[in-house]
Amino acid sequence: MKHIVDSAPQFEGIDSAGIYLLDSSCGDFVLECHAGLPEWLIDSFSRLTPGSGMHEILYCEENVYPDSSEECSFRFEGSPNVFIKGLFPLIPGETFSSVMFIASSEPEALPLEIRGIMEMLLSMVKASISRIDVENNASLREKEHSLLLETVRDPIFALGDNLEMKYCNGAFRQLVCFEEGANAAAGFPDIAGLELNNLLREKFDEVLDSDNGLRSLTFEYRERIFYTIISRTPDGLFALMNDITEAEQARKKLNFRDRFENVLISISTDFIKMRGSALNLGINDALLNIGVSIEVDRAYLFQFSDELKIMNNTHEWCATNVQPQIDNHQGLRTDDYPWWMNRLNRHWVFQIPRISDLPSWAEAERKLFESREIQSLLVVPIVHGNNLIGFLGFDSVNQEKYWSEDIIDLLRVIGDAIGNALVRNGMEKKLIKMYRRAEKEAQINAVLLKEVNHRVKNNLSEIIGILYAQMRFASNNNDHDDFVQSLISRIRGLATVHDMLSSSGWNPLELTSLARRIIDSAIAYAPNSKKLKASISKTSIRVNPNQAHALALILNELVRNSLKHALTDRDSLKIKVRMRKRRAGRITLVYSDNGPGYPEEVLEFGRKNLGLDLIQNLTIKNLQGELTLQNDGGASAKIVFRRTLTEDGKNESK
């Protein structure tokens, strides 16, 4: 017992320990052995008599761990004070005959890990008492000894100096499958078997050679995990194998959950601020963490495109010595994997513990998995809203594997988080793209607005110009109706070309369309009784807005001229417009009608009216071109000008 008490202060959180035994003759508690206690306590409390206060504490069932004393903490008052952190009955059923206590100078409650240690120490004490009893009290019945040993649930054994088995409890016998009644005094390897002997032998030697005579180790044996304390006794070794399998599994589960929670937190928080390559790195990191946590060989992310017709492996993590497959998994057609897609389309999480168990209609999938040496796999769909956008996959290459519901639930949450991140990232990309497009459009619109402003002002200036010009020419013509009609026709011509140019965004206009529109618009106001036919040659020639503007006004005047002079004595008129490209960017436009032709004085530019004045000046000034009037089966006007596609530059008209 002294040895066990001595070993207690070696553990962190325990300063001192002692064992009180009840002296049945007088009812006092006697401090049987102790370690680390101050002198004053040993002197003052070596014997606790009933009514002394401390005696009652030890004698109170409520204070004894583990029944209800989890928070117990009592004080030996002196200098320094000693705080009892735990009271432990040594023998169940004899609760108040022997109590071991541990203490420290700090008054904290008993820490969890110390309790575990104490339970083991206690088991050792129990076994020690049992042994002492066996040795010292030959009259103790065999049955009682057995009962005492059986109270310890963990395997216990004691060895002699030559490692021969001196005794062991039922838990140990059951563990090593040792038949009761067999040669109990055989050597440890004979009883425990070679496997356990190999696990412990080295520690036995260490304990025998060490100063403090105490060693501990954790090992796995027969699918159980044992935390084993080996202690030196006066005549050999004593060992307690504490079965910590459940605790270890719980710890592993806790670690697993911790790791998963970290991945989840990372995905839910870090992913929010991640963009582009940072998000890719984040997903790769998450796949690594998940892959390691659930002990798979490959973890990957697929994303669908082209309305679920194509799937691409976008991210992948592989364990060491496992072949990456990301390059082989690009542009896969989903139609080729019907079984797979059938499940994903239903948003099912599914696992394939054994590839060979796949149904016959999953032949394509089976072949693919076998070619990748996959033994088991788990698939988690990534769904956003009600749309399938991808899936997470986890391959086990080295062994067949089955994943528990716990893991699947967590992976489902992670899948959702990754899905949100992917969708958000996609939306942000789209938004940025839209924003840039809007910005560009706004810039273009700002330029267009300026251009519109300029054009409107210019058109207004031209209308005023037409009015001044008509006034100038009106002195020879006092017909008010004609004045107004001319004005309307000219302003309409301006409006038509303005409309065409604004529709095209002030880009170059196709000459054929321009001519067609102007002529159609001009002849629409001819009397219904007259038959008019316009033929316009087709051409791909385009002219810049200023030239289009001038040509529109010229054509408007030419048609007005035809309607006014050629149609007077006729019921029908044919108008022809021919356009042709010439060398050095020059364009020829010939307008003709089949009317009586120009009078001679007009051909010599001797007589002028406003229409002709406009045709001539617009050709010369605005187009910087040449005008030729002639009679060729009717009136014919030939305009030659040089085409400039840009408005800017030295060859630009405005």
Strands 635-642 and 224-233: unpaired
Minimal distance, residue 645 CB to other proteins, in Å: 14
Q: Which residues contact 255 (CB under 8 A, 6 or more apart)?
A: none
Q: Is the Cβ–Cβ distance between 64 and 95 less than 8 Å?
A: yes
- Comparing CB distances to other proteins, the nearer of 69 and 547 is 547
H-run or E-run covering 270: none
- Comparing CB distances to other proteins, the nearer of 147 and 447 is 447
Minimal distance, residue 590 CB to other proteins, in Å: 21
Minimal distance, residue 551 CB to other proteins, in Å: 13
- Comparing CB distances to other proteins, the nearer of 28 and 451 is 451
Beta bridge partners of 381: 391
The DSSP secondary-structure symbol of 146 reads H
Minimal distance, residue 554 CB to other proteins, in Å: 10
Give me the count of residues in the chain: 654
Could you tell me how far CA 323 lies from the centroid of its own chain? 24
Minimal distance, residue 610 CB to other proteins, in Å: 10
- Comparing CB distances to other proteins, the nearer of 299 and 494 is 494
- Comparing CB distances to other proteins, the nearer of 383 and 469 is 469
Give the angle 506-512-516 at the CA atoms, nearest 5°.
Answer: 95
Beta bridge partners of 618: none
User: Would you state the structure tokens that stand for residue 521, as one six-digit string?
Assistant: 């618009």
- Comparing CB distances to other proteins, the nearer of 351 and 470 is 470
- Comparing CB distances to other proteins, the nearer of 364 and 491 is 491
Q: Is the Cβ–Cβ distance between 418 and 389 less than 8 Å?
A: no
Nearest CA to 36 out of 103, 94, 83 is that of 103
- The end-to-end CA distance of the chain, in Å, is 113
Minimal distance, residue 277 CB to other proteins, in Å: 42
- Comparing CB distances to other proteins, the nearer of 400 and 626 is 626
Q: Which residues bind other proteins (CB under 8 A)?
A: 450, 453-455, 457-458, 460-462, 464-469, 471-472, 553, 614, 617-618, 620-622, 624, 650-654
- Comparing CB distances to other proteins, the nearer of 465 and 505 is 465
- Comparing CB distances to other proteins, the nearer of 281 and 456 is 456
Minimal distance, residue 636 CB to other proteins, in Å: 22
Alpha-helix runs per DSSP H in 137-192: 142-150, 170-176, 188-192
- Comparing CB distances to other proteins, the nearer of 434 and 471 is 471
Could you tell me how far CA 523 lies from the centroid of its own chain? 67
Q: Which residues contact 586 (CB under 8 A, 6 or more apart)?
A: 640, 641, 642, 643
Minimal distance, residue 503 CB to other proteins, in Å: 20
Omega before residue 80 within 30° of 0, cis: yes
What is the CB-side half-sphere exposure of residue 373 using CA atoms within 13 A?
A: 10
Minimal distance, residue 553 CB to other proteins, in Å: 7
- Comparing CB distances to other proteins, the nearer of 205 and 499 is 499
Please name the amino acid found at residue 23. Answer: D
Sign for the CA dihedral angle at 84, 88, 89, 90 comes to negative
Q: Is 510 helix (H, G, I), strand (E, B) or coil?
A: strand
The DSSP secondary-structure symbol of 583 reads G
Minimal distance, residue 493 CB to other proteins, in Å: 11
Minimal distance, residue 550 CB to other proteins, in Å: 8
CB atoms within 10 A of CB 40: 14
CA–CA distances in Å: residue 562 to residues 238, 559, 588, 598, 618: 129, 5, 20, 10, 18
Omega before residue 234 within 30° of 0, cis: no
Sign for the CA dihedral angle at 408, 409, 410, 416 comes to positive
The side-by-side arrangement of strands in the sheet containing 332-333 is: 332-333, 310-318, 298-305, 387-396, 376-384, 350-352
Minimal distance, residue 455 CB to other proteins, in Å: 8
User: Would you state the structure tokens that stand for residue 303, as one six-digit string?
Assistant: 């994303």
Rounded Cα gap, residues 501 and 302, in angstroms? 50
Give the angle 343-346-347 at the CA atoms, nearest 5°.
Answer: 90
Minimal distance, residue 616 CB to other proteins, in Å: 9
User: Would you state the structure tokens that stand for residue 205, as one six-digit string?
Assistant: 């030697």
User: Would you state the structure tokens that stand for residue 538, as one six-digit string?
Assistant: 């087709």
- Comparing CB distances to other proteins, the nearer of 457 and 530 is 457
- Comparing CB distances to other proteins, the nearer of 341 and 629 is 629
Minimal distance, residue 505 CB to other proteins, in Å: 18
